[in-house]
Structure 1
Amino acid sequence: MAVRKRQWKTSKGEAREAWTVDYVDQHGARHIKTFDRKKDADRYHAAVNVEVMEGVHAHERGSITVKAAGEAWLEAAAANGLEAATLAQYRQHLRLHIEPYLGAVLLANITPATVRKLEDDLKLGTPPPGAETGKPRSPALTRKVMVSLSSIVADAQERGKVARNVVREVRARRTRGADSRSERRQRGRLKVGTDIPAPAEIRAIVEHLEGRWRPLILAAVFTGLRASELRGLTWRDVDLDAAELHVRQRADRFNSIGKPKSDAGNRTIPLPPILVNALRQWRLICPRRDGALELVFPNGRGKVESLANIINRGLIPPQIAAGIVEKRTDTEGRPVVAARYTGMHALRHFYASWCINPRSAGGLELPPKVVQDRLGHSSIALTMNVYAHLFPRGDDAGELAAAERALLG
């Protein structure tokens, strides 16, 4: 393995020179790569020498494009039984955010600079090659796309199509905690009245619940179940005599029933009397599928209810009726009145705040670990990252004065 200077003359008699790296890989195949500058050749020579010694070198002739690697990655994910919703998300990452910028690039030619440029282009909305316009991606989406790119390269690395996972190396050099804190700062804390319905708003919503949507919205308010968990809940997992329900499955956006998001998603949640009574009444008229009573909140044919129906027919109308609205503009700039909370996760946030709030404010005043269990979070860190600011501080003026008197007499 050596770095050599090569000189020659063109057909017009002009002098040219370049630097070549001549080496034999771990399989005994000879390769020659040319560089304009000696320092680039030396750098490549040093890297290849280590890769060949470790038996992981992959020459670009044996490499594949990012697009081809992405297709192989998706095929492997599908073969491993990854659920349809996750596959669809990965496919969007590849088609919409990775392929337009790097689809034709060989994996062997991806450098740390390539990775950083993609990340910057996604955040800034720089148009991909051949396009005239681009759209900025949020920091959260950009991070997810980069994780998918890292997984694509890792899969290709296992197949021997590339020697290094440059994406993972770039991410490893960063402080992930700092990235997470930065993302949270940009997103901001959840605010009551903006992200979390206030208790008075919940009371107004409950007063205006009607028909088949009443038990469903009450369940969302008083159990904090994710929309997918509500859509997949079955009557065999609801014990009205014991006033509790068990989360054991969920329905994804393709209406396929599967396991909860994580092991922590399997949990038991107590039910308040208002919800128990509503469910007893609803069970008598709940639509059945093929004559059997299965899903708790099905559509009219007893099958999985769509999330759009739940939002548009169950969540938004009682808010409009209760006056929980905001003035906005439509696509043509005309003023419209819209419901303040347009996603079911707002009710999950309320449930979390209800679990946290002190009893004097009508809450349950539960400790953080119990709140984590009720919400089905995989770690206490996740619960505290989202809801820490809602927990009582315990250091207000009155408590500080009492502590001072106890200490100093």
Structure 2
Amino acid sequence: MALDINITKRLRHRKLASGETVEQLRYVLNWRDPRTGAREQRFFERQKDAQEKRVELIAAYERGTYSAERKTLTVADAVAAWLDANRDAVRPNTFASYEFQARYVTGPLLPAAARLATKQSGVGARPNVRPLALLGHVKVQELTTRQIRAWHRPVSEEVSIYLANKAMAILKAALALAAEDHEFRSPAMPTGLQRQRDKARKAVLTPDEVARLLDAAREDHDKGVYIAFPFLAGTRPSEQLGLLWDDVDFSANLVHIHRIQLKDGTLSEVTKTAAGARSILMSPLLREMLLAWRLRCPRKDGALHRVFPTLGKRRAWRLLRENGGGGATLQQLPRSDLGADAKAAEPGGGGAALGASFLHLDAAGAGR
């Protein structure tokens, strides 16, 4: 029986760290191992290299020295290699989230009841319960779409659908990297998986409520600008807290966003996403409040530095509502894309676009 090896041409699309998508032309050797029947593939940048490897494999098979040279690589190995490749490519807090989510790929995973008992013990005592085996021990060359679907179900039930989907994204990325390095075809990700149900709808402030909030913020000369700024500028909390006075251009009437504050209080000169670096047009109300705040803003070594120095602790801003009141913290004011249209949020400014495009508050947080 002769060794039948075909050469095909494949155009692969790869997304770079910059967000740019590039096309890679590869020549692929395709055949089945005559001993095991397993599918084999080898990728080459040049057609000449693929042809030479094809001749080499056929000659080795005819001499009786053929070997597919399949390396034993597990899912745990692939995930570890992917984490190492991304360690210096993302911010430390982002990498920490990758490490946390990767545990739900490799395992083992204690059942939810056992994890709760460990937490309630106060000393980390683990109950005598057998953990669930996940995908860590499975060889990547043998991993199938059916196995991935079977893995996704218990993770969704024991942890959450959200984290199961996050873990699957890491699995997909790790397999893609391993396929390039070790020349195998990674399985397709399953479709039609369980979706998150009963997700609480976010409460939306009405334009009248926003106008009342901004009126109250104007009266609070010490902390009002902290609350009004995300409504008028549409920034993330990390972008707001990382803003320096050098980024506020009163002559051009712009606020330039190109850094964030990390969880440890330090500044990062990159935004969360590439699209996060932008310039925001100040509305008249925002300009008025920032000019007034600049006179009272705490200095660093006698000079203006941060626009929003830390208040020392997390504080709640009470917004009295007709249905019984409620509160929202700065962390619950998500980013808005309103930009220059933030004028609609000013008292008497209408606010038609406001209610349609942003100002969502966590419904759970509205009752705290």
Q: What range is the shorter-chain TM-score in? A: 0.5 to 0.7
- Any residues of structure 2 matched to 1:288-303 within 5 Å, and which? 288-299=299-310
State the superposition RMSD in angstroms.
Answer: 4.4
Q: Deviations over 1:76-132 (max 9, x none)?
A: 1113x3112221221111124543311222222311111111222232x1xxxxxxx
SS at the partner of 2:177? helix
* 1:356-379 Cα deviation digits (max 9, x unpaired): 97999813769x9xx8xxx9xxxx
Q: Which of residues 340, 350, 354 is equivalent to 1:362?
A: 350
Query: Closer, same or farther in 2 for the Cα pair 1:165/1:46, shift >3 Å?
Result: closer
Task: Give the Cα–Cα distance (whole angstroms) in 2 for the partners of residues 358 and 254 of structure 1.
Answer: 32
Listed as ranges, the gaps of 5+ residues in structure 2 are 4-28, 45-49, 58-66, 109-133, 361-368
Determine the C-alpha separation between the residues in 2 that align with 1:324 and 1:92: 41
The answer to whether the 8 Å contact 1:208/1:318 transfers is no
Is the 2:256–2:278 Cα contact (8 Å) retained in structure 1? yes
Which residue among 118, 121, 124 is the counterpart of 2:151? 118
SS of equivalent to 2:263: coil
> Taking every aligned residue pair, what percent have the same amino acid on both sides?
26
Q: Identify which range, 240-249 or 213-222, moves more after superposition.
A: 240-249
The residue correspondences of 1:260-275 to structure 2 (distance < 5 A) are: 260-275=271-286
Residue segments in structure 1 that go unaligned for 5+ positions in a row: 4-25, 34-44, 126-133, 327-336, 376-385, 387-409
Change (3 A) 1:98 1:106: same
**Scaled by the length of structure 2, what TM-score is found?**
0.62
- Quick one: which of 228, 232, 242 aligns to 2:242? 232
Q: Read off the aligned partner of 2:205 and give its amino acid letter.
A: P
Q: How does 1:252-331 map to 2 (within 5 A)?
A: 252-255=262-265, 256-299=267-310, 309=313, 312-313=314-315, 316-319=316-319, 322-323=320-321
- Show the counterpart of 2:168: 146
TM alignment of 1:6-405, pairs within 5 A: 33=36, 45=37, 47-48=39-40, 62-79=71-88, 81-100=89-108, 101-123=134-156, 125=157, 134-138=158-162, 141-160=163-182, 163-166=184-187, 169-170=188-189, 194-209=202-217, 210-255=220-265, 256-299=267-310, 309=313, 312-313=314-315, 316-319=316-319, 322-323=320-321, 339=327, 341-342=328-329, 344=331, 346=333, 348-349=335-336, 351=338, 362-363=350-351
Which residue identity lines up with residue 47 of structure 1 in the other structure? R
Contact 2:232–2:339 (CA under 8 A) maintained in structure 1: no
Letter in 2 for 1:205: L
TM-score by length of 1: 0.56
CA separation of 1:110 and 1:202: change in aligned 2, threshold 3 A? same
Letter of the 2:179 counterpart: Q
* 1:158-208 Cα shifts (integer Å, max 9, x gaps): 331x61221xx236xx5xxx99xx9699769x7xxx432212222332343
Please name the residue that 1:13 is paired with: none
Q: Shift in Å at residue 244 of structure 1?
A: 2.2
Say whether the 8 Å CA contact 1:59–1:108 is kept in structure 2. Answer: no
Instruction: Give the residue type in structure 1 aligned to 2:146.
Output: A
1:331 corresponds to: none
Q: Distance in 2 between matches of 1:284 and 1:345?
A: 28
Change (3 A) 1:324 1:61: farther
> Structure 1 counterpart of 2:239, which letter?
E
- Separation of aligned partners in 2, 1:52 and 1:242: 54
Quick one: distance in 2 between partners of 1:52 and 1:299? Answer: 53
Q: Secondary structure at the match of 2:107?
A: helix
- Cα distance 1:67–1:227, how it changes in 2: closer, same or farther (>3 A)? same
Q: Which has the higher contact order (CA 8 A, sep 6+)?
A: 2
* C-alpha displacement of 1:284: 2.2
Instruction: Provide the rounded CA distance (Å) in 2 between the counterparts of 1:91 and 1:142.
Output: 14
Do the aligned partners of 1:228 and 1:250 also contact (CA within 8 Å) in 2? yes
